[in-house]
Amino acid sequence: MSSKDPLLQPFRLKHLTLKNRLMTTSHEPAYTEDGLPRERYRLYHEARARAGLALTMTAGSALVSRDSPPAFGNILAWREDVVPWLRELTDACHEHDCKVMIQLTHLGRRAHWNHADWLPTVSPSGVREAAHRAFPKVIEDWDIERIVADYARSAEHMQAAGLDGIELQCYGHLIDQFWSPATNFRDDDWGGSLDNRLRFTFLVVDAIRARVGAEFIVGLRLVVDEQMKNGITREVGLEIARRLVATGQVDFLNVIRGHIDTDAALTDVIPVQGMPSAPHLDFAGEVRAALGFPVFHAARIADVATARHAIASGKLDMVGMTRAHIADPLIVQKLAAGREHEIRPCVGATYCLDRIYLAGEALCIHNPATGREATMPHEIGEQSARPGRIVVVGAGPAGLEAARVAAARGHQVIVFEAMPEPGGQVRLLAQSPRRREMIGIVDWRVEQCVRAGVEFRFNTYAGADEILAEAPDIVIVATGGIADSEVLETGNELVVSAWDVIAGDVTPAGEVLLFDDGADHPGMQAAVAIVEAGARLEYVTPERQIAPDIGGTNLTPYLRALLPHDVRFTLCRRARSARRDGARIRVTLGSDYGDFRAERIVDQIIVEHGSVPLDAVYYALKPLSGNLGEVDYAALIAGEPQRIERNPDGRFRLYRIGDAVASRNIHAAIYDALRLVKNF
């Protein structure tokens, strides 16, 4: 550890000493239960606190009022019974000298009325937000009075729970919906002049201070430039910030640039992989320089070197590495121990954020322990009681994770891989420039494996004989799958798979029909490859929307790449058959909604339909294994060892993981491996 590392220097915020410069900014992982942060929530924050993080800004938009319904699993700060749960979380983090704050908000129009208490949402002028689609009511005087009191009461709850401070969310939510000319057209005391547009903010801040006193930390996470037509300009944003600082009532500013009322806009505030690193860092630095006031900031500062630069160059006082800590909560511990190179990289997949809307909980694409701290380890510490010889077949994400975990547990591990390089499907998808960072999932594991002595045999197609020759105790089949493009009633011989296009094995040309029945990334990656090759694309899907398994921030770059090419999007249609028509292909489309036939004449038909397992070696080994390939799901879920014995002659135990079982995704493959192998 270098004690001179700028990142490891303390920062004094009012009376608080933050022991280093690293924080996680507020982010709602949707781990609440009934709006309360119970054990899962606490363990999640405790993991990073134990590893040395200086400040964890908990929640994400913890709600102060009942007419601000939980849009994404938010903590209900207005509930009094939130206090004991937050106290437990705070005490646990304080044990490790990690300071704890929370973000409070009223979402205003950024929610939908159709859950929780079914109260109408409110906003200054009733302008609808595209992302949440509610038509809000125009806020009234009695709403304002009530909500101001709600803020104060919720802040008091946080103080009672022992938190070190709060942050008010002021970008895209009610407070700044008053600020922005795009959402406030009022001509009464709450609109027009900047004084009027700030009136609600000052009422809130004053009411909070009246309850929590002068010592409690109160900051704002605020937009300083909305970067949109009719939005808050940089000049106005700076003036707002100046006026807030001048009150002497606030202690820090957490700077945001951009707006979040559409998925596309949100993606520029929280950029995903393939987008520039730290795009708003210089801007945050300019705000700090202009105000001479403590400034925090996060936006795709994913690696320690960039974070160090942010502090060393004086752009920030505290640097947020939020998704980076979702990928690896042990960043500070590794940094301080001189193990910086062992940090599990955040590859910007933003599966975490998109899942809070798609599936109701944040999970990291390649760290299955995040959010599962009660059952999954972030680091494999314990050695196996029965170290043995493990053969892993396949070096895709599942196989590499299995090898990594097995080797860390002290097993002797051999990995067979038919290809010259590791990575499987991840290596394939990382060929697209926008998804290049995904290779970090592979590289990190390979490095960990090599460090732990795993033996790799590339260019080796391992059949049953080669595997048995190693006299393994355990065999893990992680052979993945091959593209499944045979979905037509007739004419499958005319079809090319989306994977062939992504791999560059087939060059799209002329008029191309892409039938996407996978609903996930491969279809969209192929679509982009098709238009970028200069072909004209009709994108056909049986779904009601484009790629429903891809969330809003991930879909944005695909749509930005496709829309300039005048792609024809055909929803609710299914490719049924194809036949030759001269030099071209006649495709018949049907629909799940009725017998609605349509014909297209194209130059190519490309199909995405997931994969079929490559399972020959599994079935060859199955009768020879002790467990006949069976997995005890109850033990797997309970985190207990596998003990099934079905064949007394079996010389080894056999398991199959990842897409070698069924077509799924990277998280599923890696989670399969971790939860099985951690008990070997």
Ligand X SMILES: Cc1cc2nc3c(=O)[nH]c(=O)nc-3n(C[C@H](O)[C@H](O)[C@H](O)COP(=O)(O)O)c2cc1C
Instruction: Please report, as ranges, the residues that interact with ligand SF4 according to CB under 6 A.
Output: 323, 326-327, 346-352, 364-366
323 is a site residue for ligand X (CB under 6 A)? yes
Q: Which stretch binds ligand X (CB under 6 A): 212-220, 292-300, 502-510, 552-560?
A: 292-300
175 is a site residue for ligand X (CB under 6 A)? no
Residue 172: which of ligand X, ligand SF4, none does it interact with, CB under 5 to 8 A by kind? none
Residue 35: which of ligand X, ligand SF4, none does it interact with, CB under 5 to 8 A by kind? none
Distances (CA, A) of 343 to 27, 328, 335, 422: 21, 7, 8, 20
| Structural contact between residues 255 and 222, judged by C-beta atoms closer than 8 angstroms | yes
457-479 b/e with 16+ CB inside 10 Å = b? eeeeebebeebbebebbbbbbbb
Given the complex with ligand SF4, which of 285 and 371 has the nearer CB atom? 371
Residue 351: which of ligand SF4, ligand X, none does it interact with, CB under 5 to 8 A by kind? ligand SF4
Residue 300: which of ligand X, ligand SF4, none does it interact with, CB under 5 to 8 A by kind? ligand X
Residue 364: which of ligand X, ligand SF4, none does it interact with, CB under 5 to 8 A by kind? ligand SF4
Given the complex with ligand X, which of 362 and 474 has the nearer CB atom? 362
- Considering only residues 68, 103, 497, 570, which one is a binding residue for ligand X as defined by CB under 6 A? 103
Smallest separation, CB 274 to ligand SF4 (Å): 12
Given the complex with ligand X, which of 157 and 221 has the nearer CB atom? 221
Smallest separation, CB 355 to ligand SF4 (Å): 8
Of the candidates 28, 97, 12, the residue with the CA atom closest to the CA atom of residue 68: 28
Amino acid of residue 18 = L
The residues with which 396 forms a beta bridge, in sequence order, are: none
Given the complex with ligand SF4, which of 393 and 524 has the nearer CB atom? 524
Helices 439-451 and 397-408 cross at an angle (nearest 10°) of: 30
Say how many residues touch ligand X, by CB under 6 A.
24
Q: How many helices (H) and strands (E) does the chain have?
A: 22, 27
Considering only residues 610 through 669, tell me which ones interact with ligand X, judged by CB under 6 A. none
Site track for ligand X across 325-364, x = CB under 6 A: ---------------------------xx--x-----x--
Given the complex with ligand SF4, which of 157 and 334 has the nearer CB atom? 334
Helices 281-291 and 234-246 cross at an angle (nearest 10°) of: 50
Helix (H, G, I), strand (E, B) or coil at 413: strand
- Considering only residues 127, 170, 232, 270, which one is a binding residue for ligand X as defined by CB under 6 A? 270
- Tell me how far apart the alpha carbons of residues 443 and 397 are, in angstroms, rounded to a whole number: 10
Q: Which residue has the tokens 């199909």?
A: 607
Smallest separation, CB 335 to ligand SF4 (Å): 17
- Tell me how far apart the alpha carbons of residues 533 and 550 are, in angstroms, rounded to a whole number: 23
- Considering only residues 19, 300, 366, 445, which one is a binding residue for ligand X as defined by CB under 6 A? 300
- Tell me how far apart the alpha carbons of residues 568 and 548 are, in angstroms, rounded to a whole number: 17
Which positions ≥6 away from 432 have C-beta within 8 Å? 502, 525, 528, 529
Given the complex with ligand X, which of 268 and 516 has the nearer CB atom? 268
68 is a site residue for ligand X (CB under 6 A)? no
Smallest separation, CB 236 to ligand SF4 (Å): 32
| Structural contact between residues 167 and 220, judged by C-beta atoms closer than 8 angstroms | yes
The residues with which 207 forms a beta bridge, in sequence order, are: none
Alpha helices (H) in 387-520, listed in sequence order: 397-408, 425-429, 439-451, 464-468, 498-503
Q: What are the structure tokens assigned to 448, written together?
A: 């960990």
359-371 b/e with 16+ CB inside 10 Å = b? eebbbbbbbbbbb
321 is a site residue for ligand X (CB under 6 A)? yes
- Tell me how far apart the alpha carbons of residues 221 and 57 are, in angstroms, rounded to a whole number: 11
224 is a site residue for ligand X (CB under 6 A)? no
Smallest separation, CB 675 to ligand X (Å): 22
- Considering only residues 169, 184, 432, 604, which one is a binding residue for ligand X as defined by CB under 6 A? 169
Residue 347: which of ligand SF4, ligand X, none does it interact with, CB under 5 to 8 A by kind? ligand SF4
Given the complex with ligand SF4, which of 268 and 484 has the nearer CB atom? 268
Given the complex with ligand SF4, which of 348 and 629 has the nearer CB atom? 348
Given the complex with ligand SF4, which of 284 and 352 has the nearer CB atom? 352
Residue least distant from ligand X (Cβ): 60
- Tell me how far apart the alpha carbons of residues 626 and 616 are, in angstroms, rounded to a whole number: 18
The residues with which 574 forms a beta bridge, in sequence order, are: 590
- Tell me how far apart the alpha carbons of residues 519 and 589 are, in angstroms, rounded to a whole number: 18
Q: Which residue has the tokens 């992302």?
A: 131
- Considering only residues 60, 69, 165, 424, which one is a binding residue for ligand X as defined by CB under 6 A? 60
- Tell me how far apart the alpha carbons of residues 418 and 503 are, in angstroms, rounded to a whole number: 17
Residue 209: which of ligand X, ligand SF4, none does it interact with, CB under 5 to 8 A by kind? none
- Considering only residues 298, 414, 467, 668, which one is a binding residue for ligand X as defined by CB under 6 A? 298
Q: Which stretch binds ligand X (CB under 6 A): 31-39, 236-244, 297-305, 440-448?
A: 297-305
Residue 365: which of ligand X, ligand SF4, none does it interact with, CB under 5 to 8 A by kind? ligand SF4
Given the complex with ligand SF4, which of 76 and 369 has the nearer CB atom? 369
Smallest separation, CB 41 to ligand X (Å): 13
Given the complex with ligand X, which of 330 and 393 has the nearer CB atom? 330
Given the complex with ligand X, which of 110 and 574 has the nearer CB atom? 110
Helix (H, G, I), strand (E, B) or coil at 668: helix
Residue 349: which of ligand SF4, ligand X, none does it interact with, CB under 5 to 8 A by kind? ligand SF4
Q: Which stretch binds ligand X (CB under 6 A): 174-182, 296-304, 413-421, 651-659?
A: 296-304
Which positions ≥6 away from 494 have C-beta within 8 Å? 578, 579, 580, 585, 605
Of the candidates 289, 409, 290, 397, the residue with the CA atom closest to the CA atom of residue 351: 397
How many other C-beta atoms can be found within 10 angstroms of the C-beta atom of residue 81? 11
Given the complex with ligand SF4, which of 297 and 323 has the nearer CB atom? 323
Given the complex with ligand X, which of 112 and 427 has the nearer CB atom? 112
How many other C-beta atoms can be found within 10 angstroms of the C-beta atom of residue 594? 8
Binding residues (CB under 6 A) for ligand X: these are: 25-29, 60-61, 103, 169, 221, 270, 298-301, 320-324, 352-353, 356, 362
